Structure 1
Amino acid sequence: MKSLDALPVGLLALADAVTGSPVGQRAASVRGFDVSNHQSSVDFNEAYADGARFVMIKATEGTVFEDPNFGKFHAAAAQAGLVRGGYHFGHPGADKGAAEADFFLRHGGGWSNDGVSLPGMLDLESAKGKPECYGLSAEAMVLWISDFVETYREATGRYPMIYTGPSWWKECTGDSQAFKDKCPLVLARYSSAVGPVPGGWKAQTIWQNGDKSPWGGDADVFNGDATELKKLAAG
């Protein structure tokens, strides 16, 4: 995911609630990717033909930025048959979590019970030019995230996914376990292996394992099969 001024980051992760594995890892064969205004054009039909089955598309950032590519990318992804969802790059502390959730919901971040729309995703990571953890204590950060999460849940009936990296989560939330049973984890780690999962989550559901997908944007892998991906979309 990339903020307007963010350094590159990478990795998606979602909590796995149905696996019998001790660590929740399953056959991860469903590929996907994420895109934003940093990509001028994307061939979603080619992505689908190559095996991609889902995409996350940046919709908003803070309370003022609407991604200019969101509408056309979302429509093209839908036409190509991809499961898709929007994401919001958070600015904790700059505005209330509820205010950012409302802005996200008004500009593409909602969820539809159509079987092909993923719940929205809150992107939490460091941003260039911003203080570490946005100047918030771990307690204040957890409260900000809760404000966003509960506002989104009240509006849509779904908890949003949370995108973050292990080191950011540990440093900025104190490795909080407050969301492990609510929000699917989107884990950011560029590596050859998923590695330890923070925050008490059982496992990632999507692993973003690189900053260059074959179709543009970052590369993701869903922790499950295509049927389970559709179950996540259906809620």
Structure 2
Amino acid sequence: MPVSRAGFARRARSKAVTLTGTLVSAGALLLTSTGPAAAAPPPADEPVKPGQAWMGAGTRLEQPHASDSGGVLGPLDTSGVQGIDVSHWQGAINWSSVKGAGIDFAYIKATEGTGFKDSRFGTNYTNAYNAGLVRGAYHFARPNASNGATQANYFASNGGAWSRDNKTLPGVLDIEHNPSGAMCYGLTTTQMRTWINDFYTTYKARTSRDVVIYTTASWWNTCTGNWTGMAAKAPLWIAHWGVTSPNVPSGFPTWTFWQYTATGRVSGVAGDVDRNKFNGSMTRLVALANNTP
């Protein structure tokens, strides 16, 4: 991720999960079916600090590894149920305008590692809800900072909780290319599988929900060794830009969310923002939020 378009180090993109109408396991559905500009990111030769990593950053930290298309950004796929993912990088957001622009869901950055809380999470989470969006929180994983259970607890205690209210999606584990070191955070494939499973198990114990996994096919296949252990548990949010259909990592039958571009524009958001779509109808999105068949 040190390579960038515009001279900046870049980060990975947001989420995509498909539901195909049936419960795959205890709660995992599979369906087929204007604010101020954000501060500039650090130069490419400067370490990426907590809170400056990828998802939710739009194109401010563009990196080839952000998607399996080598960083190539394609046309918007605005069909179906549309969403965005955001963090403090977007600055102030007019969520009523976002809703009016046809966006029905949003994932909002809450935490990273074990010591970073996004400064705009509370405002975004509340205002998105009040504007009528179905929204959820995400955690940017730092597997080299602590074990999965520790980070799952940190996330659940700082924005990643869940309630059945028609508008709260299950939390997301954003696990992708390391923004400031070895691609797989220095973990072996066995260690990475353990880390992810510990995060999943702890998050479910805290919230009763299966965590959504945001990743790319290339990262997952490389860093988990084509692991199939999450296939019947976690909905998949896949990041893959510039294509008409995303590559799905080994072990996942399909996607639930698809982050299809990082150069989206939406009324109410200043600058580029990640655009996503849900693999199903609005009724199925609410079912995912409420954990109902």
Aligned to 2:17: 14
Q: Does 1:126 align with 2:174?
A: no
- The Cα of 1:6 is off from its aligned counterpart by 7.0
Change (3 A) 1:11 1:65: closer
What are the equivalent positions in structure 2 for 1:72-151 lying under 5 Å apart? 72-151=123-202
User: Do the aligned partners of 1:207 and 1:220 also contact (CA within 8 Å) in 2?
Assistant: yes
1:29-64 Cα offsets, whole Å, 9 max, x none, are 000000001111112111111110000000000000
- Aligned to 2:88, the other structure's residue is in SS state coil
Distance (whole Å) between structure 2 residues aligned to residue 154 and residue 120 of structure 1: 13
Q: Return the letter of the residue paired with 2:280.
A: G
- The Cα of 1:24 is off from its aligned counterpart by 6.5
Distance (whole Å) between structure 1 residues aligned to residue 14 and residue 228 of structure 2: 19
More divergent stretch after superposition (57-66 vs 194-203): 194-203
Unaligned segments of structure 1, at least 5 residues: none
Say which structure is richer in helix: 1
Distance (whole Å) between structure 2 residues aligned to residue 145 and residue 225 of structure 1: 29
- The Cα of 1:16 is off from its aligned counterpart by 2.4
Aligned to 1:41: 92
Change (3 A) 1:157 1:6: farther
- The Cα of 1:193 is off from its aligned counterpart by 1.8
Distance (whole Å) between structure 2 residues aligned to residue 213 and residue 76 of structure 1: 21
- The Cα of 1:212 is off from its aligned counterpart by 2.4
What are the equivalent positions in structure 2 for 1:1-235 lying under 5 Å apart? 7-18=10-21, 25-26=32-33, 29-215=80-266, 216=269, 217-235=273-291
1:178-219 Cα offsets, whole Å, 9 max, x none, are 001111001011123223311321211111001123234210
1:107-131 Cα offsets, whole Å, 9 max, x none, are 1011111121000000011132221
Unaligned segments of structure 2, at least 5 residues: 1-7, 23-29, 34-78
More divergent stretch after superposition (223-232 vs 198-207): 198-207
Q: Return the letter of the residue paired with 1:185.
A: L
Change (3 A) 1:6 1:146: farther
Distance (whole Å) between structure 2 residues aligned to residue 8 and residue 124 of structure 1: 11
Distance (whole Å) between structure 1 residues aligned to residue 263 and residue 168 of structure 2: 23
Distance (whole Å) between structure 1 residues aligned to residue 290 and residue 31 of structure 2: 21
Aligned length: 228
- Aligned to 1:221, the other structure's residue is in SS state strand
User: Do the aligned partners of 2:20 and 2:32 also contact (CA within 8 Å) in 1?
Assistant: no
- Aligned to 1:133, the other structure's residue is in SS state coil
Identity value in percent: 39
User: Do the aligned partners of 1:15 and 1:183 also contact (CA within 8 Å) in 2?
Assistant: no
TM-score, with length taken from structure 2: 0.74
Distance (whole Å) between structure 1 residues aligned to residue 111 and residue 203 of structure 2: 14
- Aligned to 2:264, the other structure's residue is in SS state coil
Task: Provide runs of 4+ in structure 1 moved above 4 Å.
Answer: none
- Aligned to 1:109, the other structure's residue is in SS state coil
Q: Return the letter of the residue paired with 1:219.
A: R
Distance (whole Å) between structure 2 residues aligned to residue 24 and residue 56 of structure 1: 19
Change (3 A) 1:224 1:71: same
Distance (whole Å) between structure 1 residues aligned to residue 31 and residue 261 of structure 2: 21
Report the aligned-residue RMSD. Answer: 1.9
Distance (whole Å) between structure 2 residues aligned to residue 39 and residue 183 of structure 1: 28
